[in-house]
């Protein structure tokens, strides 16, 4: 659907909406699971019809057999990062290039507007994670700006922030953990470092010798102690990484 396709939300609803999707996935669902209606999933799907099988296709006839949500790991993202692809997508699934590092989106946009981000670069946008934000920073604006600059598919982006589910432009790895504010490898990246992203192999690596990274880790400047009190203080002290649920637990 728009903005990633030509069909509209109204057409999706006319085809049967969410229940029609569930009907097409019926063979993969736990039909005896109870729902908030008091009935089971299977009971709720009785009699549901799919009015347009071009809009909501059957499992046997998908738009693509390639997964659109990919979990990658590697030396740059030991815990994980997410690469989301458009369903109909012919972009390259491998990308290797020099890092261009930014600690906030504003400076990244200034560089982009000044023509300083070039084809082949891997943009590292850090400091947007749960703890570094604080709260989850959004990288969508920068990605759309890249698209407006004609760099979609020519530049890769990796960030510890997140992006809208509608952002399927360029090769984008989001929610990188451990985040930079936790001292993860993202915090050690410097301009010019080579980063390799291979979505098919589910690997994202920082191609820098471990001895060099160890030296950088020793020299890593710790963020100054914040003076917040109350809820913000509790949040910063207790928030857990996204892959652990982003819950607040005393370490």
Comparing 19 with 226, the larger pLDDT belongs to: 19
Q: How far apart are CA 164 and CA 147, in angstroms?
A: 15
What would the two tokens of residue 69 be? Answer: 């949500």
What is the DSSP code string of 129-190? STTTTTS--B-HHHHHHHHHTT-BTTBEEEESSB--TT---SEEEEEEES-GGGT-GGGG--
Q: Please tell me whether residue 197 adopts helix, strand or coil conformation.
A: strand
pLDDT (0 to 100) of residue 224:
59
Segment 184-212 mean pLDDT:
95
pLDDT (0 to 100) of residue 89:
59
CATH of domain 69-219: 3.50.30.80
Q: What is the pTM of this model?
A: 0.79
pLDDT (0 to 100) of residue 226:
65
In tens, the pLDDT along 229-245 reads: 788 888 888 888 888 88
**Contact assessment for residue 184 and residue 150, using Cβ atoms and an 8 Å cutoff:** no
Comparing 169 with 77, the larger pLDDT belongs to: 77
Whether residue 131 is predicted with pLDDT greater than 70 in this model: the reply is yes
Residue 38 backbone phi and psi in degrees, to 5: 90, -10
Comparing 135 with 40, the larger pLDDT belongs to: 40
Domain spans, the chain: 1-62, 69-219
Segment 208-227 mean pLDDT:
82
Whether residue 34 is predicted with pLDDT greater than 80 in this model: the reply is yes
pLDDT (0 to 100) of residue 166:
63
Nearest to 170 by CA among 184, 185, 159, 186: 159
- Lowest-confidence segment of 33-37, 38-42, 183-187, 224-228 by average pLDDT: 224-228
- Lowest-confidence segment of 9-23, 41-55, 225-239 by average pLDDT: 225-239
Residue found under tokens 């451990």: 178
Q: How far apart are CA 57 and CA 4, in angstroms?
A: 16
Catalytic residues: 164
In tens, the pLDDT along 58-98 reads: 999 988 777 888 999 999 999 999 998 766 556 678 999 99
pLDDT (0 to 100) of residue 104:
86
Q: How far apart are CA 116 and CA 112, in angstroms?
A: 6
pLDDT (0 to 100) of residue 134:
80
pLDDT (0 to 100) of residue 91:
65
Beta strands 122-125 and 156-159 are: parallel
Number of helices and strands in the chain (H, E): 7, 8
Whether residue 222 is predicted with pLDDT greater than 70 in this model: the reply is no
CA dist 129 to 19, 183, 199, 250, Å? 34, 12, 22, 18
Quote the radius of gyration of the chain (alpha carbons, Å).
Answer: 21
Segment 138-150 mean pLDDT:
87
What is the DSSP code string of 153-164? TTBEEEESSB--
pLDDT (0 to 100) of residue 204:
96
- Lowest-confidence segment of 42-46, 62-66, 98-102 by average pLDDT: 62-66
């Amino acid at each position: 659907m728009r903005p990633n396709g030509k069909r509209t939300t109204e057409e999706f609803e006319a085809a049967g909406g969410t229940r029609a999707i569930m009907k097409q996935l019926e063979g993969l669902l736990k039909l005896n699971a109870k729902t908030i209606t008091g009935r089971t999933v299977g009971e709720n799907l009785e009699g549901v019809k799919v009015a347009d099988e071009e809009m909501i296709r059957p499992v046997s006839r998908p738009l693509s057999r390639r997964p659109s949500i990919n979990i990658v790991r590697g030396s740059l993202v030991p815990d994980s990062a997410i690469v989301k692809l458009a369903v109909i997508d012919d972009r390259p699934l491998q990308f290797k290039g020099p890092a261009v590092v930014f600690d906030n989106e504003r400076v990244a946009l200034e560089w982009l507007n000044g023509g300083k981000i070039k084809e082949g670069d891997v943009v590292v946008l850090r400091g947007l994670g749960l703890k570094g934000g604080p709260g989850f920073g959004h990288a969508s604006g920068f990605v759309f700006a890249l698209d407006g600059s004609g760099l979609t598919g020519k530049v890769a982006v990796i960030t510890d922030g997140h992006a809208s589910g509608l952002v399927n432009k360029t090769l984008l790895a989001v929610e990188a953990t451990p985040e930079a504010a936790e001292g993860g490898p993202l915090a050690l990246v410097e301009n010019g470092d080579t980063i390799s992203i291979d979505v098919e192999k589910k690997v994202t690596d920082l191609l820098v010798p471990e001895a060099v990274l160890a030296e950088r880790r020793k020299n890593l400047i710790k963020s100054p102690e914040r003076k917040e009190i109350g809820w913000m203080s509790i949040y910063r002290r207790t928030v857990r990484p996204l892959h652990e649920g982003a819950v607040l637990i005393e370490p």
